[in-house]
Amino acid sequence: MDSISAQEAYRKKKIRLAKFGLFIAWVSSLCMVTFPIFNSLATDGVYQLFDSKIMTLYVLSLLFVAMGEFFGGIFLILYQTVVKGVPMREYGRVWNVRSSRMVLLSALVAGPLATACLTVSVPLCGSTYSNCVSALTPILTAVAAAIFLKERIGARIIIGILIAVVGVIIAGFEPPEGVTNFYLGIVIALFAPIGYTAEAMISTHVMDVSEPLEVCGLYRMIGAGIMEFIIVLAICGFTGNIDWIGIAFGTVFSNPLLIVFILLTAVLMAVQYGTSYIANNYSGPSRASAVVWSTPVWSIPIGFLFAAVGLVPYNVTALGIIGAIVVVVGVVLVLAKPSEMFSLRNIDE
């Protein structure tokens, strides 16, 4: 009887942790919607001093993504050290694990290709529409796994893929009022799921053999931030616009509000990256990812909230709302059986 009680207590504890993991995944989803908005606010504060070319918008967005990831990595390492008690020498051990450096390669596609394009697309087509497109990441990952890893795709996954694609088409059928570069934003946003899929394919093994939060802080954030800044330097140098960097830094550090936007971007990035790994551990990758990639739905109330406080304009059509819901339904079908999504009885499986 005592043995059964102990097993039942252990099982209830795992279910509580799994529920907490789903909550953490929801927090991660909210942060994924919010940090590109703050990045766009910082970018817009500098972009208005330059021409209106897309290349300029991309370079400035990437510069502030680099700053956000670099400072976010520092925040994450400080959290691990001060709160979790991870000694700094542990990061030396992580550095000595050569396979962990593969995360730098994944960050090279995730930052400049995925995150930067996501942040560029937000002011062009709107947060909800860019999140509808970026939520195709699990769909592309499933297709890539079938092609390169020879994983089998069942009927449920195929149906989910089709539903998600239809959702994006529905959302993008009609531009919202006041948006002039809608379809350009959609096209740019398409690079986000491509980059995030490449990141997942490259870094999955590394995260299995190393402590995710330590690797994330050191490589995925600080390492990525340094590489992104080098890319900004290269682009500006190649195009003869190296003065852009000085103007951008001068503008940011003379405007406290822009500094706040960048620091908020950094904190939200650190929370988003960290909570996604924690949610995977507590609830399982399928359940957690399904919640994390529900971003299109959460972008709607967040968009209205930001508009209500006067930070950014936000418009969404009825088709945009319907499309966002359809995309999330498709993503859930791809990642998990709907009947098991919130049923935690088989959490050990």
Give the whole-angstrom CA distance, residue 52 versus residue 47.
8
Least confident range from 167-181, 247-261, 298-312: namely 167-181
- Quick: pLDDT tens for 159-194: 999 999 999 999 999 999 888 899 999 999 999 999
Least confident range from 194-203, 245-254, 260-269: namely 194-203
- Under the banding of pLDDT at 50, 70 and 90, the label for residue 208 is low
Q: What is the pLDDT of residue 349?
A: 44
Full DSSP string of 178-189 = T-SSHHHHHHHH
Percentage of the chain lying above the pLDDT 90 cut: 62
Q: What is the pLDDT of residue 345?
A: 46
Q: What is the pLDDT of residue 71?
A: 97
- Quick: pLDDT tens for 12-69: 777 788 888 899 999 999 999 999 999 999 999 999 888 878 999 999 999 999 999 9
Q: What is the pTM of this model?
A: 0.91
What count of other Cβ atoms lies within 10 Å of the Cβ of residue 89?
8
Look at residue 1 and tell me whether its pLDDT is greater than 60: no
Least confident range from 87-91, 185-189, 241-245, 284-288: namely 284-288
Q: Averaged over 237-265, what is the pLDDT?
A: 96
Give the whole-angstrom CA distance, residue 128 versus residue 49.
27
Q: What is the pLDDT of residue 15?
A: 78
Report the mean per-residue pLDDT for the chain: 89
Q: What is the pLDDT of residue 26?
A: 96
Q: Which residue has the tokens 């059928």?
A: 173
Look at residue 77 and tell me whether its pLDDT is greater than 50: yes
- Quick: pLDDT tens for 115-147: 999 999 999 999 999 999 999 999 999 999 888
Q: What is the pLDDT of residue 346?
A: 52
Give the whole-angstrom CA distance, residue 293 versus residue 141.
13
Full DSSP string of 66-99 = HHHHHHHHHHHHHHHHHTS---THHHHHHHH-GG
Q: Averaged over 150-160, what is the pLDDT?
A: 89
Nearest one of 73, 9, 1, 35 to 261, comparing CA atoms: 35
Look at residue 288 and tell me whether its pLDDT is greater than 90: no
Q: For the chain, where are the alpha helices, taking DSSP H only? A: 2-47, 54-82, 89-96, 102-109, 116-125, 127-134, 137-148, 155-171, 182-189, 191-209, 212-215, 224-238, 243-252, 256-283, 285-292, 295-308, 318-335
- Listed by start position, the domains of the chain span 16-340
Look at residue 9 and tell me whether its pLDDT is greater than 80: no
Contact 178, 315 (CB under 8 A): yes
